[in-house]
Amino acid sequence: MPWMSASINALWWAVQYYRQRRCKTFITLLQGPAMLKMNMKWLCALLAISIAMALILGWIFRTGRENPPVCESQHQDLCLKNGSQDGHSLVFANLTPEEMVQVKKYLWNNLGVPLVEPPLAKPSDNCIHSIILHLPPKAEVLEFLDHQGRKPTRQALAVVYFGNQEDPNITEYKVGPLPKPTYHQDITVQKYGGKLPYYRRFFLRADFVKINTLFVTKEYPKAPNFMRWVLDYNRTNFLGLPGLPPGFKSGDRKVWVSLYQNVSGLYLHPVGLELLVDVSSLSVSEWKVLNVFYNGQYFRDMEDLEREFNAGRVRVAIVKKAPLDGGYSSLKPRVPPEWPGPLQYEPRGPRYCIRDNQVTFMSWSFAFGMEASRGPRVFDVRFQGERIVYELSVQDASSLYGSNSPATMCEHRVYDSVFLTVMLQEVGQRIG
């Protein structure tokens, strides 16, 4: 038992101390019977004190084991009883799947125009781009949180692309109340000071699919020898990714598309071929390639590239075919690890608790959420009950690229919903 072990250890150290510190005195005392008797009294007293100390330490250890500190063993219970966990954080909570479905159904039935699902939508169609939480005004939220005011009405913010109209545009609607909406209000002019022109819309995934389809069906067949002998093209082994933004001035929708091998970690497997595509027309059939770049050389189109290749005037770099798993570009380890990775262990359970969208950790608490165009954000950050921050979120995130290729040379990527939310992934176990 732990307390018995502690007692024996304490007694052993007492004897060692006596032997080291009192050795000479002990020998001297042993020289006569009287001295021997006095020495035995000292020894008995020391042993009694050591045993008493060992018993006291053992009792302390045993009691501490049976009644661990409150901050460790009972933290979860305290979190759940904490006044900050009263449901007020739900005013910042993301829309639930059920709420988004209800908003979508309401808009489909009440906008008065035909809508198309985004994966099937063409630029000339109407579609719902996003449905997110519409944050109430800050003053209303603070009145509710701090002064027991009326709970703000829960509403959604819907962004709709109207391509099938005489004047194509982007419109933002405030839809509520949730979970069963009965009204929608156009807030575009109020928010932006005017209508949003259609060319400002984000690319949809369907747009990228249509660009790749254009390449496969119309452009690659124009250069059969080049595609076969240089790139070993087989209709499925390449994927085009756009360089953003699409143009150099407001209103442009001309995007350079770089080709990569269609394997895991494709960013590390470019093939050197890039095409400039004009996607400004609402009709996909009118999209066209304006320029071609390969290995440091520019060509008018794919037919020009094929002619120059057949004439031997193209600097060729044969592409080494990558394995399907990407090889060195894959995140999967190529050699099994000798030892398991480090794991976090909490012997008495976590010292934090999560209820709905509220996190409590010791003296800290905050509400969290995810915004479709800006990524993760936190609200109502408090320390010991005092608000430190009302809202903390990513407002702007961008990166500038440089290269000898036009797609990367023009790249000024402003990270939007594609990169901050759709592609947001865990970077490790329990880290995300």
Name which of 50-59, 142-151, 347-356, 388-397 the model is least confident about. Answer: 50-59
Q: To 10 degrees, what angle do helices 2-21 and 33-66 make?
A: 150
Cβ atoms of 401 and 237 closer than 8 Å: no
Please state whether beta strands 358-361 and 386-393 pair in parallel, antiparallel, or not at all (unpaired).
Answer: unpaired
* pLDDT tens sequence across 53-101: 777 776 766 665 544 444 444 555 555 555 445 678 899 999 999 999 9
Average pLDDT over residues 351-368: 91
pTM, whole model, 2 decimals? 0.74
Mean pLDDT of the chain: 81
Q: Give the pLDDT confidence score for residue 152 in this predicted structure.
A: 95
> Any idea which of 1-5, 177-181, 306-310 has the lowest mean pLDDT?
1-5
Q: What is the mean pLDDT of residues 320-348?
A: 83
Q: Where is pLDDT greater, at 207 or 400? A: 207
pLDDT score recorded for residue 411:
65
Other Cβ atoms less than 10 A from the Cβ of 312: the count is 7
Residue 394: closest CA among 371, 367, 424, 413: 371
The residue ranking higher by pLDDT, 2 or 290, is 290
Lowest mean pLDDT among 37-41, 169-173, 265-269: 37-41
Q: Name which residue leads in pLDDT, 427 or 109.
A: 109
Which pLDDT does position 293 carry in this prediction? 95
pLDDT digits (tens, 9 = 90+) for 253-288: 999 999 999 998 888 899 999 999 999 999 999 999
Handedness of CA 277, 279, 281, 285 (dihedral sign): positive
Can you tell me the distance from the alpha carbon of 242 to that of 257, in angstroms, rounded to the nearest whole number? 4
Q: Which two tokens stand for residue 99?
A: 């709420």
